Structure 1
Amino acid sequence: MTQTEEKPKVIRGDDLQAITPHLVCAGAADAIEFYKKAFGAVEKMRLAGRDGKLMHGAIKIGNASVMLVDESPDWGSFAPTSLNGSPVTIHLYVADVDAFIDRAVKAGATLRMAPADMFWGDRYGIIEDPFGHKWSIATHQRDMSVSEIEEAMKAFMPSAGGCDS
């Protein structure tokens, strides 16, 4: 934590969400520093074990909480880098997807898909952080009905079929 950040005195119920990502990282303390630099995250909590590994960390990205922990193979807890990737992508809405992705890439993220205007009304891109976690980043541009999205998808991907095809 920087000198200007203040550790919370208590963890309040309104700090918790119904669903909160809990990321396993090889180097969770380094991950916190990356998210602060790349995503503008605010560190809320850090508990290190006797071996120095992070037993629990918490950050806030925008209005969302994210928990972190160091991988612990003895407990069956592995980071994406130990598993050759992760099937999970974390979706994050931001005010300016282009600037956000640019800052994340400059901080060490890998660009997987450059931001582009998408048929469902978002400007959208994908990055992978240095710890193996994939993030889809979006800026909402316009509200659309389900039927408008379906029509736009057909134009965007003419061979795309529905679930029943």
Structure 2
Amino acid sequence: MTHRTHTPAHRPHTPAVTRLHPRLVVSDGPRAIDFYRTAFGAEEIERYTGPEGRIVHALLRLGDTVVAVKDADEGDPAPPSLGGTPVIMALDVTDADAVAEAMLRGGATVVYPVADQPYGQRGGRLADPFGHLWMISQTIEDLTPEEIQRRTDAMFSS
């Protein structure tokens, strides 16, 4: 058997990605869907349940994005049972303060308060009642990539 090296002209076919979305595992699916509906204006697109009514898959639309939600089980633990999550959901919004307030009313907690950031965003980080982290931000200043890097350098040199 001859081994063939793939050059750009002989690259194997790579299947196209048709969709990528986060799948949030939560301890109480119906309550989580209500939270996301109230805090983010999420629209429920579909919901499938198991024999005991536990959510095995629900799809929510948040703006132009979809997020799946499912109840935790023995194969898919929720963040609190793992001691937290290393994943941060970045949510760009038109009013970071209003979204943060809606999250807090629904039981979220502040990790970093919403404030003006040197890189041209107003934002902060909150943990939802199910252990998922959300970085909420809105653009308040149009900056070039060079300006953002300069401000980032200054932020870390102080």
Using the size of structure 2 for normalisation, the TM-score is: 0.84
- Give CA deviations for 1:5-29 in whole Å, capped at 9, x if unaligned: xxxxxxxxxxxx7321111111112
CA distance in 1, matches of 2:76, 2:36: 21
- Which residue is equivalent to 1:26? 27
- Give CA deviations for 1:15-53 in whole Å, capped at 9, x if unaligned: xx7321111111112110111122211111111110211
CA distance in 2, matches of 1:92, 1:84: 23
Equivalent residues in 2 for 1:22-61, closer than 5 Å: 22-61=23-62
Comparing 147-156 with 118-127, greater Cα deviation is found at: 147-156
Aligned residues: 142
CA distance in 1, matches of 2:84, 2:37: 22
Does residue 70 in structure 1 map to residue 71 in structure 2? yes
CA distance in 2, matches of 1:28, 1:128: 16
Equivalent residues in 2 for 1:3-152, closer than 5 Å: 18-73=19-74, 76-152=75-151
CA distance in 1, matches of 2:146, 2:132: 32
CA distance in 2, matches of 1:80, 1:42: 23
Larger Rg: 2
CA distance in 2, matches of 1:123, 1:19: 27
CA distance in 1, matches of 2:78, 2:127: 13
- Which residue is equivalent to 2:7? none
1:133 Cα deviation after fit: 0.2
- Which residue is equivalent to 1:157? 156
Using the size of structure 1 for normalisation, the TM-score is: 0.80
Q: Which runs of 5+ in 2 are unaligned?
A: 1-17
Secondary structure in 1 matching 2:157: coil
- Which residue is equivalent to 1:6? none
CA distance in 2, matches of 1:29, 1:144: 40
1:116 Cα deviation after fit: 1.3
Give the counterpart letter for 2:61 in structure 1: K
Secondary structure in 2 matching 1:77: coil
Comparing 17-26 with 107-116, greater Cα deviation is found at: 17-26
